[in-house]
């Protein structure tokens, strides 16, 4: 890239239009990654209720030791940048590139959009509920599709409060032209800050621009406490005349990730466009009595667990198309394929 030197200059520099983060602070912040790359979360496993027996031993039922499952959250995104502003170039440009302002520009135009894009893509591809739809989204069906999603979350007992409706700009365009949308006065009010465009069905609505939005996803509903996007390290440095450079050196680092909590995975719902071959959602596997695990989607890899944990998020998940387990073992399996969305989880008790 060229350094454009000029004899006449403006006192102002032209920055691209950029929003603040649309996901930062929106998800769960209960877990502290300080001093650790991996955080392990323990989930106790409850047992079914029994019919109380009024005579004999163990009237409440046969006591069993409470089991648990572990989910490991390991940070993977360690991103950085480095820029220099040569003192001579800056002087020839009328000192238009203030180092502090250029540092903030780098964060706004590069770091924040990349963070949002990663988090939203992780939420979509690892959602607890991925609904593939062969019918394209329209102004006539969008409200019904959102209602289908909220009904499924309701049935999974996901709390009705603290839900966020993330939607693409194209999806929002359809939504605001739907008859049901027009009847909801709250959504027509003045736009709120940071991309929040109102509320719909008791959900905060956040419109996401295309560069940050995951491909072939119509909309997502995310409960705040179903996922987390921890930022362990976020630092910037501005060095004046460091060794070997006459001018400023701008450096920055972001260490973060996004995780969906296995016990609360149903709180993340993604509506995926599978019309006209746009996207593929892997078919839910079938587990036979003999232990064979198959999926109707070709070319998938099967992962399964035998400890009761959700294989989509479990460190104990094993790759394989067959399983041999003792009687009473609960086997859970899902299908994964590169470039496709993961299947739902199949479950079978041997």
Q: How far apart are CA 341 and CA 283, in angstroms?
A: 10
Residues 160 and 263 in one domain: yes
Residue 192, pLDDT score: 39
Distance between CA atoms of residues 273 and 29, nearest Å = 31
Residue 60 has pLDDT above 80, yes or no: yes
Residue 45 — very low, low, confident or very high, per pLDDT cuts 50/70/90? confident
Q: pTM of the full predicted structure? A: 0.88
Does 222 lie in the same domain as 169? yes
Residue in 212, 255, 253, 262 with CA at minimum distance from that of residue 230: 255
186 plus 268 within the same structural domain? yes
Element (H, E) at 293: strand 293-294
166 lies in the same domain as 304: no
Q: Please give the residue range of the domain that contains residue 162.
A: 77-231+257-277
| Spatial distance between the Cα atoms of 111 and 78, rounded to a whole number of angstroms | 11
Handedness of CA 191, 193, 195, 199 (dihedral sign): negative
DSSP-derived 3-state class of residue 108: helix
**Is the same domain home to 114 and 262?**
yes
Could you tell me which of 280, 272, 282, 330 has the C-alpha nearest to residue 302? 282
**pLDDT reading at 194 higher than 90:** no
Q: Say if residue 86 is in the same domain as residue 203.
A: yes
- DSSP-assigned letter for residue 27: S
Question: Are both 100 and 198 inside the same structural domain?
Answer: yes
Q: Is the pLDDT of residue 5 over 80?
A: no
Burial (CB count <10 Å: 0-12, 13-18, 19+), residue 293: buried
- Shortest CA distance to 97 belongs to which of 174, 11, 170, 166? 11
pLDDT at residue number 184: 60
The number of distinct structural domains making up the chain is: 2
pLDDT for res 8: 44
Q: Are residues 291 and 266 in the same domain?
A: no
CA distance 140 to 286: 35
- Of residues 156 and 37, the one with the higher pLDDT is 156
Per DSSP, what are the bridge partners of residue 143? none
One domain, residues 267 and 293: no
Token digits of residue 46: 């409850």
| 50 falls within a domain | no
Q: Please report the pLDDT score of residue 77 as a whole number.
A: 96
The length of the chain is: 350
Report if residue 37 sits inside a domain: no
172 and 273 belong to one structural domain: yes
| Same domain, residue pair 268 and 290 | no
Same domain, 191 and 333: no
Q: Report the share of the chain in percent with pLDDT over 70.
A: 90
């Amino acid at each position: 890239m060229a350094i454009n030197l000029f004899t006449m200059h403006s006192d102002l520099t032209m920055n691209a239009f950029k929003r603040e983060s649309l996901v930062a602070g929106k998800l769960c912040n209960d877990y502290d990654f300080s001093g650790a790359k991996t955080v392990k979360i323990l989930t106790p496993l409850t047992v079914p209720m029994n019919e109380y027996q009024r005579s004999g031993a163990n009237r409440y039922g046969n006591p069993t030791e409470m089991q648990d499952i572990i989910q490991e959250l390991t940070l993977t995104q360690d991103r950085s940048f480095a820029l220099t502003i040569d003192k001579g170039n800056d002087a020839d440009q009328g000192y238009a590139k203030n180092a502090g302002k250029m540092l903030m520009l780098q964060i706004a135009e590069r770091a924040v959009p990349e963070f949002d894009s990663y988090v939203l893509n992780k939420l979509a591809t690892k959602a607890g509920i991925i609904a593939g739809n062969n019918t394209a989204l329209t102004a006539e069906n969008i409200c019904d599709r959102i209602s289908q999603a909220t009904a499924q979350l309701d049935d999974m007992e996901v709390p009705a409060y603290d839900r966020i409706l993330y939607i693409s700009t194209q999806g929002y365009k359809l939504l605001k032209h739907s008859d049901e949308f027009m009847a909801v006065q709250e959504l027509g009010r003045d736009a709120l800050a940071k991309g929040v465009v109102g509320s719909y069905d008791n959900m905060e609505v956040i419109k996401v621009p295309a560069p940050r939005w995951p491909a072939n996803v119509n909309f997502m509903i995310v409960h705040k406490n179903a996922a987390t996007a921890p930022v362990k390290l976020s630092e910037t440095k501005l060095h004046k005349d460091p060794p070997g450079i006459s001018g400023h050196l701008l450096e920055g680092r972001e260490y973060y990730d996004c995780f969906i909590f296995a016990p609360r995975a149903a709180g993340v719902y993604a509506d995926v466009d599978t019309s006209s071959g746009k996207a593929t959602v892997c078919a839910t596997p079938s587990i036979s009595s003999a232990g064979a695990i198959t999926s109707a989607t070709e070319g998938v890899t099967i992962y399964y667990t035998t400890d009761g944990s959700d294989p989509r998020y479990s460190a104990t998940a094993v790759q394989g198309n067959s399983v041999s387990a003792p009687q009473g073992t609960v086997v859970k399996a899902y299908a994964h394929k590169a470039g496709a969305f993961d299947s739902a989880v199949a479950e079978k008790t041997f």
